[in-house]
Every structure is written in structure tokens, then in C-alpha cells.
Amino acid sequence: MTDASDSLGVSTNQPEANAMAVKKTAGTANRWSSEVAPLLVSSTSERGNSDEDMRIPPTGVDDALNSGLYSSESESQHLKRTQVRLSVQEFAREDGVVLSLPGSGNTWERFEVLASWAADDLSVGRIVEGHSDALAILAEAGAEPVSREATYGVWAARSSSGGTSAERVPGGWRLSGTKAFCSGTGVIDRALITADTPEGYRIFDISVNDQVARVHEDSWPAVGMANSFSHTLDFNGPIILDEQVVGPPDFYTNRPGFWFGAVGVAACWFGGAEGLVNSLLHSLSSESSDLVNAEVGLAVAAIETMRAVLRSAAKSIDGDPHDARSEAHLRALIVRQAVHEHSLDVLARVASAGGARPLCLDEQQSRRAADLFVYLSQHHRGPDAATLGQLARSAHSCN
């Protein structure tokens, strides 16, 4: 998981070839427990449990995993990272290639797919949202992915000290510095990374394997969102070519897609909350008390309210894909505040209705709750609410 600024960019120019709606098959992203994980475990048991035997077909990420960057990683951590990589690769290969871009006329379908992956596994949902956002940023800049097979992320978190910078050198750019919350570390192949330059804040399309010089050990000890692998990284690699610079200076935040993507993140929050409620509904006794039913009813009401808010936002984005009415910022703040508050309410209602048992004895449900709480914490609730209030006062209306 990253800072709220880490995954908020998207495109408003949708090629017709990608305009088809797409629905993720229920349970696809969660098939590891019944299919893939047992195969990996049985395979390693038969072959001596070596990390080398656990590798899937080689990619640049494999080179990094075996180069010493993850030398302290346990076998169980390696297995989890491999499972997440397989999920993200599956998304990129299937849903990702046909997912509509924001403003295409099919934005709600895009949000539904992101929410569906997040409902299955919020950490995986976070990473596939980053991949989708990266492709949308590239499209909005008029650029193409370096490779159609590559998995992408967006690394744009900013800190009060340090950070990443890039300077012009003969032949291109040199990236250096440190960045926290790099979701998908050891999972994705490439990243759109932001860096300060003398010309302004810029985006670079980098090979993770080439540019990551060091993974800070123990920089992601999180329980919630643990499998997002959002480590702190040091950068120092070969020269980045000019054609790998994405957009002009300050392009990342000064575009309509920045705020469209902010709503996409909220769709993942919604998906995480929906996954919690669906699991609760399957776990309750048929003879639940009226008090339990009341909590369930309130949770379901929150879910359907979020769905309506996101669907309305998607319709508005499709109706003004270039933000000609300058409403994208205000809309994104409203949607994020609403989804954030309702998701927190869902966390409380699910705990009240189900009690401690599923949160303690059901590994998936306990992880869903922890993941959602941590992911929601990226929201700048107070500052964003203050900005929302200022914008509303300036407009002298809440319409």
C-alpha cells in the first residue's frame, strides 16, 4: 500500500479496442489456496524445498529475487510473494488487457473489476490497481508500455525528507534516492516512479530490476496489507533514456486522470469492504438474533450506498472525460470521503455481527479486516475534508 498520492493517475482517452466491459470470474484471484499453492508446496517437497525450484518462468523480477536484494527472505515469504506475482500476472494477462480506461464510457465496469479483485484479496487488489493506473497514465501521456507482458506499478509516495530525484546526464537521466511505500516490490517488472528534477516533478518508466539498488530489510513489517510488499527502496541504476520520461514536468498531478484514479482507489476500498460482508454472510448461523441481523442490515446498506456513489462518479467521469467542467477534484474528494467513512462503518458492523471468532479463527477474514483498516489509513481524512469544505464554500453550494 502507498501514500494516497501513489496511485491516482489515469487516462481519459480510451481506444475503441479496449472499450468492452469486463467482469472478473468470481474467485479467480483466490484460486491459490486450492490450486496453485499446493502445487508449489508439493513441488518443492519433492525437489528438496529449494528456492530455485519454486521459480516460475524467468522474468526480470526473478533476477532481482536471486541477486541478493531479498537474501533474508524466508521460504514462506518467498512463497507468498510468488503467489502474489502469479495473481498479478494473471490480471495483467487477462482482465488487464481489456480493462476500460476512465472516461471511456465504461468506467463503472472498470471500477467493478478492481473492486472484485480487492474483494478476493485486498493486497493483490492494491497491486493490480497500480498496474491499471500505470497503463492509464501512459495512455494519458500518449505513451506505450515498454512491454505488453510487463506488470507495472506506480511509485509516487512523497516524504518530508529525502525522496527520489533525477538529473540530466549525457544520454538521458540518472535516478537516485530513496522512496517508501513501493507496493509490489519483488512482484512487478516495471514502475512509473516520480522524482524531483530541476524542471519539476517528473515521471519515469523504469525497470525495477535495473534501478533498485537496495531493498531496506524490515521496511514492511506490516500485518495489514502485508502481501502488498510495500518496501522502502534505494535507487541507483543505469541511465534512463529520454523516451522513458512520461509526460512533461508536473504531469503526474496536473491532469484530469489524477482525480479519476483517486476514485479508482476508493473502488478498491469498497471491494475490500464488500469482501468482508460477503464472508460474514456465509459464516452466520441461520438462526441469528435480531441484533446480529440489524448489524448485517446496516453493513449491507453501507455497501449499497458505496456502490451507488461509485456508479454515479463513474457516470460523471464518462460524461466529462477531459474535466472541462473542472469537477474532478471535488468529485474525487466527495467519493473518497464517503467510501472511507462507510468502509470504516462496515469494519465495525462486521465485527459486531460476527464477533471475535471469524476475526481470530478465519485466516482470510482476519486478513481482510486488517488489510482494509490499513489501506483506509492512507486516506488523508482531515486535510481532504478541509479542502472539500473550502471548495464547497467557494462554490456557495453542495450541488
pLDDT at res. 146: 94
pLDDT at res. 63: 53
pLDDT tens per residue across span 116-128 = 999 999 999 999 9
Residue 63 or residue 37, greater confidence: 63
Query: What's the per-residue H, E or C state across 119-164?
Result: HHCHHHHHHHHHHHHHHHHHHHCCCCCCCCCCCEEEECCCCCCCCE
Task: State the pTM of this model.
Answer: 0.83
Q: What is the mean pLDDT of the chain?
A: 85
pLDDT at res. 168: 96
Q: Is 14 helix (H, G, I), strand (E, B) or coil?
A: coil
> Which domains are delineated in the chain?
256-395 (1.20.140.10)
pLDDT tens per residue across span 129-146 = 999 999 999 999 999 999
Taking residues 337-345, what's their average pLDDT?
97
Cell numbers placing 206: 523504469
User: What share of the chain has pLDDT > 90, as a percent?
Assistant: 72
pLDDT at res. 12: 31
pLDDT at res. 72: 67
**What is the CB-side half-sphere exposure of residue 184 using CA atoms within 13 A?**
34
Answer yes or no: is pLDDT of 192 > 50: yes
Residue 85 or residue 397, greater confidence: 85
Q: What are the contacts of 281-290 at 24+ separation with CB within 8 A?
A: 283/354, 283/358, 283/362, 283/365, 284/353, 284/354, 288/353
Answer yes or no: is pLDDT of 173 > 90: yes
pLDDT at res. 65: 52
Question: Alpha helices, DSSP H only, in the chain?
Answer: 37-47, 60-65, 75-93, 95-98, 107-120, 122-140, 208-211, 256-283, 290-319, 328-354, 356-361, 363-376, 381-395
pLDDT tens per residue across span 55-103 = 333 345 555 555 556 666 788 888 999 999 999 999 999 999 999 999 9
User: What share of the chain has pLDDT > 70, as a percent?
Assistant: 81
Taking residues 10-32, what's their average pLDDT?
38
pLDDT tens per residue across span 212-248 = 999 998 899 999 999 999 999 999 999 999 999 999 9
Taking residues 287-308, what's their average pLDDT?
95
CA distance from start to end of the chain: 33
Taking residues 341-370, what's their average pLDDT?
94
pLDDT at res. 217: 83
Residues 6+ apart with CB under 8 A from 340: 266, 269, 376, 379, 381
pLDDT tens per residue across span 247-260 = 999 999 999 999 99
Q: In the structure, what pLDDT confidence band is assigned to residue 11 with cuts at 50, 70 and 90?
A: very low
pLDDT at res. 392: 84
pLDDT at res. 64: 52
Cell numbers placing 368: 481482510
